[in-house]
């Protein structure tokens, strides 16, 4: 499953951050997933549970922020949204540029460390 290798990458980032900030427990992870990033949110949920088990992120709140596909016509500047409507009504061949929808990144990692109990990193 594709999402397992993505989640492996997410955990590399999470554990890196945990080390940098001396976190002993991860409490929250948020990742941003674009509509056409090719990732299934349900499969990511599963992959998260798989990697979290027995790690410092076990029991953490895992959330996914989904970003819709949007684009803009280079000719008339009209904003377009969604796979079906990503074609402008103005004349000529398709000339749109993509604005959002391909994102895939770790947005927020929050955790606790022994010294001050709470720490948050981007």
1/90 with CB nearer Zn ion: 90
Nearest to 72 by CA among 101, 51, 46: 101
Compose the 36-55 pattern: x for residues touching Zn ion by CB under 5 A, - for all others.
Answer: --------------------
Cα separation of 63 and 41, whole Å?
9
Give yes or no for a contact between 60 and 28, defined as CB atoms under 8 angstroms apart. yes
4/76 with CB nearer Zn ion: 76
For Zn ion, the binding residues in 73-102 under the rule CB under 5 A are 73, 75-76, 78, 88, 90
42/78 with CB nearer Zn ion: 78
Nearest to 108 by CA among 10, 24, 23: 10
* Site for Zn ion, rule CB under 5 A: 73, 75-76, 78, 88, 90
């Amino acid at each position: 499953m594709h999402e397992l290798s993505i989640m492996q990458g997410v955990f590399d980032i999470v554990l890196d951050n945990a080390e940098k900030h001396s976190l002993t427990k991860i409490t929250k992870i948020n990742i941003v997933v674009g509509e056409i990033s090719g990732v299934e949110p349900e499969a990511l949920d599963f992959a998260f549970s798989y990697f979290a088990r027995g790690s410092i992120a076990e029991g953490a709140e895992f959330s996914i922020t989904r970003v819709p596909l949007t684009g803009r016509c280079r000719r008339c500047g009209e904003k377009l949204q969604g796979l079906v409507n990503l074609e402008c009504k103005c004349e000529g061949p398709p000339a749109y540029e993509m604005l959002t929808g391909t994102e895939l990144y770790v947005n927020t990692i929050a955790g606790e460390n022994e010294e001050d109990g709470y720490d948050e990193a981007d």
